[in-house]
Amino acid sequence: MIGLTVVAALLATLPLLLILTLLLKQGASSLNVAFFTAMPKPVGEVGGGMANAMLGTVMLIGVASAIGLPFGIGAGLYLAEHKAEPLAAVVRFLSDVLNGLPSIVVGIFAWQFLVRPVKHFSALAGGIALGVMMIPLVTRTTEEMVRLVPDALREAALALGFSRWRTSLTVVLRTALSGIVTGALVAVARIAGETAPLLFTAFGNQFWSTSLTQPVSALPLQIFTYAISPYDEWHALAWAGALVLLALVLVVSLIAKFVTRPRFGSGSD
Amino acid sequence: MTAAVTMDLEAGTAPGGGVTGTGALTVENFSFWYGPTQALFDISIDLDPQAVTALIGPSGCGKSTFIRSINRMHDLLPGARGAGRILLDGEDVLDRGLDVVHLRQRVGMVFQRSNPFPKSIYDNVAWGPRLNRRPSRRELDDVVEHALRRAALWDEVKDRLRENATGLSGGQQQRLCIARALANEPEVLLLDEPCSALDPIATQRIEELLWELKKDLTIVIVTHNLQQAARVSDRTAFFYLGRLVEHGPTDQLFTAPREERTEAYITGRFG
């Protein structure tokens, strides 16, 4: 029985190893400085990079975080600190449903309310769509982390004359902070690779654009566009882009792991 | 209402201290409910300043419920309510209009399990004054040192104030929690079984500390340890099934209890 679980555990990590091997084999050769600094070249020309897509991804993550973090952390704090209230049960359920919502649906939602009325695609619409996806992820991890804060600490703060919200904001939130930061980073890693919600919101852009009201490219969008194209040099760039995306997720996950490493041991240090 | 004791107090000489009253507590016909369950029945008792009052009684008799009512720790519990009056220097702490934040600064509390914040020793003690009084950096240093000295912890930690408080031993952590409460310059100190998780040496240090602290505080301590009650307290109150059975000077209660139930409990026949 134990042997079977070990095999299952190894098999569970196998896909990541296979993907990494494949991407390294196919994408590493196209990965050079120009990939990060140059703009896409027209069809037929060799070289070029994805600088615009990287900028787009950074912009989209920025907008998404501006929405996902405050709402997600606030909601998670509410759920953890008022766990018995009926409203909390409703919010928790709806948050889980939102978390399970197919990302394309979120994209359609953003298109309907943010793209259609202004009649053009925009980075803002894409970022908001990603932000909506972030909220339930951040809510859930925040709630779990805040619940881990011992009641004894809350009581200590209250007994020192702290109001309830001040206790939440200082003692509780600060104690849970490293866990919340990890949750936020994992959520960023998760949405950074989303393609579907961007298809008809951020849309993609072959040019350098820093405007939130204009369409922008993003790494996953560019990969998608290049991968379905009939050109070999674009395929190569798509592989490289996929490798960069994977590396990004790995790095963010590693940072998250670094942030949560235990700092306050029970022994003297 | 009659004030419990009127005596001259030389308290309030501490740096930054904003001590106003004497910390005299008078409880009049106090009852308490957790939802439909009544936990305390018609408690009336005076808790004297400059004295230690021990609350004894078997588990579940309402000692902790009572002590937590004094600084309104039940406020956040849905369905919890009290009736009667708990007067602190003549002011009813149960009054809905009372500033609970201010009350808890006047009435400090130390819990059964030491609960330092996962912060430095200095920050733990500075926590209350920093938010409640906004002192200058130098004032804060003085307040922290004074509080740690009063809690008999200064000599052990003065060279490691910036180290994490969770690295201290259990007994030190509990004294740190006392220092943290003292930094608010309270008039009353409530201790809810503060030594139940400590070894005899650490317990002894806390008991000695209480002897010092009672010079300018009203101290109320819940304890399961009858020897401890006999050692540290001036007056003892025996709770049973939510009622205050008997209270009086400690030596009298232990040597010549008036009530049969008190005698049965202190001689170990139940509880």
CB A205 within 8 A of CB A213: no
Residue whose tokens read 């808790």: B47
In 3D space, the residue among B28, B70, B54 whose CA is nearest the CA of residue B194 turns out to be: B54
pLDDT tens for each residue of A142-187: 999 999 998 889 999 999 988 888 888 888 888 898 889 989 999 9
- Is the Cβ–Cβ distance between A27 and A240 less than 8 Å? yes
Say whether residue B128 is in contact with chain A using an 8 A CB cutoff. yes
- Cβ of B76 within 8 Å of Cβ of A158? The answer is yes
- Chain B residues within 8 A of A264 when measuring between CB atoms: 118, 164, 166
The owner of tokens 């960023």 is A188
Amino acid code (one letter) for A147: R
- DSSP lists the bridge partners of residue B51 as B218
Nearest chain A residue to B128, by CA:
A160
Written as six digits, the tokens of B25 are 């507590």
- pLDDT tens sequence across A12-60: 999 999 999 999 999 888 888 888 888 888 887 777 888 999 999 999 9
Which tokens sit at B77?
């519990």
Contact (Cβ atoms closer than 8 angstroms) between residue B180 and residue B127: yes
- Sequence-distant (6+) residues with CB within 8 A of B11 are B17, B19, B22, B187, B216, B217
Within 13 Å of residue B214, how many CA atoms lie on the same side as its CB? 22
Residue B15's pLDDT is 39
CA distance A83 to chain B (A): 12
**How far apart are alpha carbons A219 and A198 in whole angstroms?**
11
A25, amino acid identity: K
Q: In chain A, whose CA is at the least distance from the CA of B117?
A: A153
Does A2 lie at the interface with B, CB-CB under 8 angstroms?
no
Residue type, B252: Q
Run of H or E including B108:
strand B107-110
Among B103, B108, B166, select the one facing A264 at the smallest CB separation: B166
Q: Where are the domains of chain A?
A: 50-260
DSSP secondary structure code for residue B140 in this structure = H
Residue entry with tokens 């209230």: A85
What pLDDT is stored for residue A268 in this prediction?
Answer: 34
CA–CA gap between residue A230 and residue A206 (Å, rounded):
17
Residue of B102, B105, B117, B187 to mutate when probing chain A, most A C-beta within 10 A = B117
Is A150 touching B (CB cutoff 8 A)?
Answer: yes
Q: What is chain B's Cα-based Rg?
A: 18
pLDDT in tens, A123-141: 999 999 999 999 999 999 9
Mean pLDDT of chain A: 89
Residue of A130, A136, A135 lying closest to A216 (CA atoms): A130
Whether ipTM tops 0.85, in short, is no
pLDDT at A265: 39
Give B209→chain A minimum CA distance, Å: 20
Intervals of chain B under pLDDT 50: 1-19
**Residues of B with Cβ-Cβ distance to A155 under 8 angstroms:** 73, 111, 115
Q: Which pLDDT does position A11 carry in this prediction?
A: 94
Q: To which residue do tokens 């990890």 refer?
A: A182
Interchain CB distance below 8 Å, B167 and A269: yes
HSE of B81, CA atoms in CB hemisphere, 13 A: 5
CB contact under 8 A, A265 and B184: no
Q: Would you state the pLDDT for residue B21? A: 62
Domain boundaries, chain B: 25-114+187-266
CATH assignment of B25-114+187-266? 3.40.50.300
- Decide if A73 contacts A169 (C-beta within 8 A): no
Q: Does B36 touch chain A (CB under 8 A)?
A: no
8 Å CB contact between A61 and B55: no
Indicate if the pLDDT at residue A70 is higher than 60: yes
Give the per-residue pLDDT at A264.
47
Domain A50-260 in CATH 2.70.50.60? The answer is no
Per-residue pLDDT tens digits for A18-28: 999 999 999 88
In the three-class reduction of DSSP (H, G, I as helix; E, B as strand; rest coil), residue B192 is classed as strand
Secondary element (H or E) of residue B243 = strand B243-249
Give the mutation candidate from A160, A163, A167, A177 for the B interface (greatest B CB count, under 10 A). Answer: A160
CA-CA-CA-CA torsion for A170, A175, A177, A182, nearest 10 degrees? -170
Single out the residue of B216, B243, B262, B240 nearest to residue B14, CA to CA. B216
What tokens appear for A135 in the block?
A: 């909220």
